[in-house]
Homo-oligomer: A and B are copies of this chain.
Amino acid sequence: MTVHDKPSPSWHSEALSLPARYYIDPANHQSELERFFLGMWIHAGRADQIPVSGDYVLRDVAGESLIVTRADDGAIHAFYNVCRHRGTRLCEAAEGSFDGLIRCPYHAWAYDLSGRLVAAPQMHDVPNFRIEDYPLAAVALGLWDGHIFLNLGECPRPLAEQLGVLADKFRAWGMEQLRLGKRIVYDVASNWKLIIQNYSECLHCPGVHPALQRLSHFLSGQNEPAHPSYLGGRMDLREGIGTLSMDGQLTGACLPGLSVDDHRRVYYYTVLPNLLLSLHPDYMMTHTLWPRALDRTEVVCEWHFHPEAMANPGFRLDDAVSFWDMTNRQDWHVCEQMQLGLKSRAYRPGPYSRREDLLHAFDQLIRSEEQSSTP
């Protein structure tokens, strides 16, 4: 997306794509899941999906089923979906509403919405059994302008530390007020990192996304220097284009509070490890990445709008959704072709162009994480 004025003299010797093991070695994948998905704050959807006490969604993080629910006091909690009696999974449906209690389907142990065990049939005569010793196992939860983050690590550092300056950077977009307009879930046959890399450069845009290229030139904009927990930049809309949609016209009004400059820009940020945050003048698009295997990633793409815009009779989201659904599918296709190619014994790390500087920065993060965790 960006142009460096002064090429670093060492650019060529360093800037090669990652060795194949990062994409095809199951042990490497397992260690990345532990470092990034069990060790960092991960994006897990939006608070407006569970507006009422008892509402819940399930999340599957690296094979762990988690319940995210809103308690009677309005606070949101997350728990492992495991009964403390004999380990039965408590909850099956992907989303729904509890009637005040989370009941195990097997022996009817019951927990309140803050996770405390409140009923355990036939345990009264077990010596030393104390009901308060068996709450649900909790998972750390943090909120950022309506985004839910979870942390499965043992002693999580504050979410704000991970977000850094991002926490304030997008205040003007009023993300907390936005509401879900549309969700599409994709099953992509590629490693999660290929999706982030794909998102981090527009060198492929002229060939892969001719419609996008007509709305926003691939050499426009500016990347921000990469940070250990996020990376991104912005691109400019072409003259006469209001937003990214099939016809380039706005879905409704621009979001209130944006500067005139930001009416002409789209911001693309990867909030590591699993949120792609795309801020348009009139809507927010989020991609939440869920690695399901070394070579499979579930991508939840959501489009979020201002409630006042949605209430307006002229509001139309189809054009924006169709545009990105088309563009998403173009991206998944090349990510999948790259995953296939990386399996080959003929693959060797190849040279990045300057248009792929964020990938080089991302790859360094991946490698440094690896180094720092090696004794």
Contact = CB atoms under 8 A, between A and B. Distances in A.
A105 B336 CA distance: 11
A126 B346 contact: no
Contacts of A17: 85-87
Contact of A85 (B12, B129, B346, B350): B350
Contact of A88 (B105, B341, B345): B341
A122 interface: yes
A351 B85 contact: yes
Interface string A98-125: 0000000111100000000000011101
Contacts of A63: 343
A305 B348 CA distance: 43
B122 A203 contact: yes
A106 B355 contact: no
Contact of A106 (B84, B208, B343): B208
A89 B337 contact: yes
A64 B348 CA distance: 14
A15 B125 CA distance: 13
A194 to B, nearest CB: 9
Q: Which of A9, A208, A344 has the most CB of B within 10 A?
A: A344
Given A108-B207, A334-B88, A343-B63, A122 B12 contact: no
Interface stretch (A75-83, A164-172, A227-235, A245-253): A75-83
Nearest to A139: B346
A127 interface: yes
Interface in A322-361: 333-334, 337-338, 340-348, 350-355
A318 interface: no
A374 interface: no
Interface size class of A (residues with CB under 8 A): 35 or more
A58 to B, nearest CB: 11
Contacts of A12: 126-129
Contact of A207 (B84, B105, B204): B105
A344 B351 CA distance: 41
A18 to B, nearest CB: 9
Contacts of A137: 346
A11 interface: yes
A17 B207 CA distance: 57
B87 A338 contact: yes
A7 interface: yes
A78 to B, nearest CB: 11
A332 to B, nearest CB: 12
Interface string A59-100: 000011100000000000000111111111110100000000
A134 interface: yes
A163 interface: no
Contact of A344 (B15, B82, B108, B333): B82
A293 to B, nearest CB: 15
14 contacts: A11-B126, A17-B87, A82-B346, A82-B347, A84-B348, A85-B351, A86-B338, A87-B338, A89-B338, A105-B207, A106-B207, A106-B208, A106-B334, A108-B206
